[in-house]
Structure 1
Amino acid sequence: MALTLERALLAARQGDVDTLKALQGDGLLEPASLRDPLGASPAHHAARAGKLNCLRYLVEEAGLDGNGRARNGATPGHDAAATGNLACLQWLLTQGGCRVQDTDNSGAMVLHLAARFGHHEVIDWLLRFGGSDPLAATDTGALPVHYAAAKGDFPSLRLLIGHCPR
């Protein structure tokens, strides 16, 4: 089983849909059992790596949850936002089952993670997409603007403050 997990995770990160199809064809791509030590599924790994083709296959064909949770409560949407993979995030929010209001175990939403890691193009899209609350606080009281300010990310700060000047 460990070898199957490693093959699936590597294929998801590398965009290797053929290997995922082969694993599925052999009955080895079991959604419940394929989790890394932190509880992330191949869908999380594909979203992190920006491999939309694999992400779509895993959710649409292999039956993995597009909104499945890792041990820290993160969905693949959280991972896509944290790594700046806008195409994956857009698909996850519009077709993959994730929501902009989904929070991880610390209360962070995708907007918090995009701001924390300085992905202003993701922030811009999230603010235009709707549903992202720039005044939503994590469990520790952090707002997306706090993350952008701490990073010194002026493009993200301008977007967040421009969207919600107070």
Structure 2
Amino acid sequence: MSGIDWGSAPAWVSAFLTSGSLGLGFYILLRDRRKEEITEAAKVFAWTEHDGDVTTTKILNGSASPITSAQVLVEIRGGNGLVLENYGFNELVMPGETAGIQTDRRIDGPGSPKLIPWSVEFATGDGTRWVRDLWTGGLHRHGYTNVLHAGLSRRKARKARRERIKRITRA
């Protein structure tokens, strides 16, 4: 009985190169899909407008698909520790539409804690959740970290973790 035939060197090289080209093809497909997702999400704009004692946070859907579950994350500054609260927009913002939500600049008038909008969270048509930072305009995929997506700087994020952030979700 003869030994096992391991094939020739050209057959091994061919198999290795075929595997490499398949891996590269899948990588390119995933990279292109991520670019398309980011391009669609980048067409959603958010900003704040101040009018007296009211801050209005607005969101404009410039993408080709509707966005859902839009909400603004507001910091309550001046209380005990760092408290973040969600305020919801419309359930559905169609392409080309603008939606807004108003928040008071202070909870109970002069001398009370301030309400400062930090970021806007939304989901694109394919279900991917995104966060638009209102201070820098940056766009981030939701959920990579539990605090940075709120639009906080790394320093504030560390401080928030130490103070054990309290998140209150409004229905």
State the structure with bigger RCO (CA 8 A, min sep 6), 1 or 2.
2
Superposition TM-score, scaled by structure 1 size: 0.24
Superposition TM-score, scaled by structure 2 size: 0.24
Larger radius of gyration: 2
Higher strand fraction: Structure 1 or Structure 2? 2
